[in-house]
Amino acid sequence: MSCSNHNNNNNNNNNNNSLNYLLTVAWKNDSVVMIDQTKLPNKLVYVTCKDYKEVANAIKNLIVRGAPAIGVTAALGLALAAIHSEAKSLSQLLVDLDSAFTVLKSTRPTAINLLWALTRVMEKAKGKKSVYEVKKAILDEALKMAEEDIEINKQIGRTGAVLFDNGDVIMTHCNAGSLATTAYGTALGVIRAANEDGKQVSVIATETRPVMQGSRLTAFELHHDGIDVRLIPDTAVGYMMSRGAIKRVIVGADRILRTGHVFNKIGTYQVAILANMHKIPFYVAAPFSTFDFKNNPEDIVIEERSEEEVIKIGKKRIAPKGVQAFNPAFDVTPPELISGIITEKGILKPPFDNLYQTLKKWQKKK
Ligand code: MRU
């Protein structure tokens, strides 16, 4: 089952016309509408998903990707399951929601935002007295989450922008921008905020093999928004750093543990090692919803994707027939390589020994 395609180049599929950057996912006419990121950068097209199974497929197939965007999309998927359920009783509705929860949760294993978002929305079903009340509560919460995501990213941006100086050249890996969130982005949100503050900050984006989130998505959205961006092959990171061409690095995260270990797109770890070697500050930007206080590094499943992504570029084979490939989608950057973790309420600094206590305290801050 797949979502239907449509062209919508004016990006006005949202109720918020004040946005001047891309809106990745939105609720429209009882459907979930999202940019089809598999078609970027060549076509800016939207797909409409009418049921939660279509939403699950969209997440699995990277039509929508990036930890916060996956979370919001899954929450809206659960809202679709709620409003389309034909259950007549509360207990039957909860059975329907549980099935949708399980399907949506299984789409991608590494980004904690997925489970966080689904759990938060499901919590709203508790204590309700009627089918109508549950359906309304689930939809309201999912919509609230989508809106909050933009505000949280702006807060991350404002918090982190102080770390950047006028004229800085910032390296980023993968895409932690508008396209990885409802809008504005986390790592790219900090770059946006610095530019909004009048600092002329430019970006060096890695291509991010094998799915090319850097060249297809980061370069696309920064170019779209008029932010200076240059692309480099992943293999040029060390060279650029050794030439003094990079002032700082900023990336997003799929999951951050209480130990300060950061799970992010494959290749992040080697960028962090090179930054450390060249004494270049390496920052991570992520919302509270990306923190996982329960698990240890060895408990986390690293998604392994199809070897097709490695042995082919698009439809073209680039490796000999019969050769196998291994395609881990994420890696782990240890805390000792990280100069700071930028959240919506403040910047966590090393050593990250009291990360859990600090975040708990900040969560209570207005
Ligand atoms: O496989 P993807 O494209 O979903 O991976 C995305 C990343 O690794 C991002 O850096 C991360 O999700 C943070 S997005 C704000």
pLDDT digits (tens, 9 = 90+) for 133-185: 999 999 999 999 999 999 999 999 999 999 999 999 999 999 999 999 999 99
Going from the C-alpha of 256 to that of each of 10, 29, 49, the distances in angstroms are 36, 35, 30
Q: Are strands 4-7 and 45-49 parallel, antiparallel or unpaired?
A: antiparallel
Q: Are 23 and 16 in contact (CB under 8 A)?
A: yes
Q: How many residues in the chain? A: 366
365 burial level (CB within 10 Å; 0-12, 13-18, 19+): exposed
275: left (phi over 0), alpha (psi -120 to 50) or beta: alpha
Structure confidence by residue, pLDDT tens digits, 262-301? 999 999 999 999 999 999 999 999 999 999 999 999 999 9
Work out the pLDDT band at 13, boundaries 50, 70, 90: very low
Task: Please tell me the predicted confidence (pLDDT) of residue 314.
Answer: 83
The predicted-structure confidence for 218-236, as pLDDT tens digits, reads as follows 999 999 999 999 999 999 9
Cα 230 to ligand 1 centre (Å) = 20
Query: CA-CA distances (angstroms) from residue 350 to 186, 245, 293, 353?
Result: 20, 25, 17, 8
pTM recorded for the entire structure:
0.95
Tell me if 68 CB under 6 Å of ligand 1: yes
51 in catalytic set:
no
Pocket residue to mutate for ligand 1, from 38, 154, 171, 264, most atoms within 8 A of Cβ: 264
- φ, ψ at 273 (rounded to 5°): -65, -45
Q: Ligand 1 pocket: which of 73, 114, 174 to mutate (most atoms <8 Å of CB)?
A: 174
Tens-place pLDDT, residues 32-74: 999 999 999 999 999 999 999 999 999 999 999 999 999 999 9
Residue 185, C-beta contacts closer than 8 angstroms, at least 6 positions apart: 153, 157, 176, 177, 178, 179, 192, 221, 252
Residue 5 is predicted with a pLDDT of: 83
Angle at which helix 90-105 crosses helix 67-84, to 10 degrees, equals: 150
Q: Is the CB of 213 under 6 A from ligand 1?
A: yes
